Amino acid sequence: MISVKNLSKVYDTGTLTVTALRGVSFKIKKGEFVAIMGPSGSGKSTLMNMLGCLDLPTTGNYRLEDLEISSLKPNQLAEVRNRRIGFVFQSFNLLPRATALENTELPLLYGRVSNSTEIAMNALERVGLKHRANHKPTELSGGEKQRVAIARALVNQPAIILADEPTGNLDSETGEDIMSLFLQLNKENVTLILVTHEEEIALKAQRIIKMKDGRIIKDHLLEATPC
């Protein structure tokens, strides 16, 4: 489903060039749950941006399902993000003035999907927040906010969900809840890629990719762990 070949990214700031990725290659199958780990500066955020189609690699190939991403134009990238990728951020990134339902509905509006309210409501139900649909983010707890964000990521039935430190702003108990929600979704055949530097969180995945200095230093499968 995802195939990354020799991906590298060089940032040119004018005065100095920074190489964030140095030839990364891997494949991810449909329904996999992969954790990407590494210290800050290891290139895992850059890799996330590439996988999330927020940025294009300097060299190398990125294939998502049937699409070669590296050759797409900005508007096509926006479309890919809308249809095939769901984002979950550490700081939730919900629109503060919109209700949970409206936040969930937003990708459908940009995708011009009809029946958007109904579909968004179903997504909220899937994360167990149907009863909070008309609340604004300020009226929701951290865990609830992240659930809304997950509902928003799910709503377009994307090929992959990219989660960047999704439990980083939550207390451990709520973090656990969110992780079980991810595992639940993974069981329903949602492909998950999770970036974290917490070993404990990463261990819940089926596979861990460890990065350092823009390279993959370890890529291994884990035994199935009881949740």
Partner 1 sequence: MLILDLFKMAIRSLISHKLRTFLTALGIIIGVASVISMISIGEGARQQTLSTISKFGTNIITIKPGQKKSRHVSTGKVDTLILEDATVIEKNVPLITGVAAQVYRSAQLKFGNKNTNTTVRGTGKSYAHLANFELEKGRYFNQQEINASKRVCVLGQTVVKNLFEEANPLGTNIKVDGKNFMVIGTMEPKGALSWFDPDDQIFIPVTTAQKRVFGMDHIQSIDVQAAKIEDLEIIKEDIAQLLRIRHNIPKGKENDFYVQNSSQWLNSWGDAAKTFTYLLGGIAAISLMVGGIGIMNIMLVSVTERTREIGIRKAIGAKKKEILEQFLIESVLISFLGGGVGILLGISISKMVSNIGGWDTIVSTQSILLAFGFSVGIGIFFGFYPANKAANMNPIEALRYE
**Chain contacts with partner 1 (rule: CB under 8 A):** 49, 52, 54-55, 74-75, 78-79, 81-83, 87, 89, 93-95, 97-98, 106-107, 109-112, 152, 156
Reported residue count of the chain is 227
Closer to partner 1 by CB, 137 or 208: give it.
137
Q: What does the radius of gyration of the chain's CA atoms come to, in whole angstroms? A: 17
Smallest gap, in angstroms, from Cβ of residue 51 to partner 1? 13
CB nearer to partner 1: give 135 or 177. Answer: 135
Q: Closest approach of Cβ 165 to partner 1, in Å?
A: 13
Residue 47: its H or E element: helix 44-51
User: Minimum distance from CB of 206 to partner 1 (Å)?
Assistant: 26
Would you say 55 or 213 has its CB closer to partner 1?
55
Q: Which two tokens stand for residue 79?
A: 């479309």
Q: Which is nearer to partner 1, 116 or 196 (CB)?
A: 116
Closest CA to 162 of 59, 64, 20: 64
Residue indicated by tokens 């451990």: 172
Q: Summarize the chain as % helix, strand, coil (round to 5).
A: 35, 30, 35
What minimum distance in Å lies between the beta carbon of 31 and partner 1?
23
**Cβ neighbours of residue 120 under 8 Å, at least 6 residues apart?**
101, 104, 105, 108, 151, 155
**In the complex, minimum distance from the CB of residue 96 to partner 1, in angstroms, rounded to a whole number:** 8
User: 104 vs 191, which CB is nearer to partner 1?
Assistant: 104
Q: Is residue 35 packed enough to be buried (19+ CB in 10 Å), middle (13-18) or exposed (0-12)?
A: buried
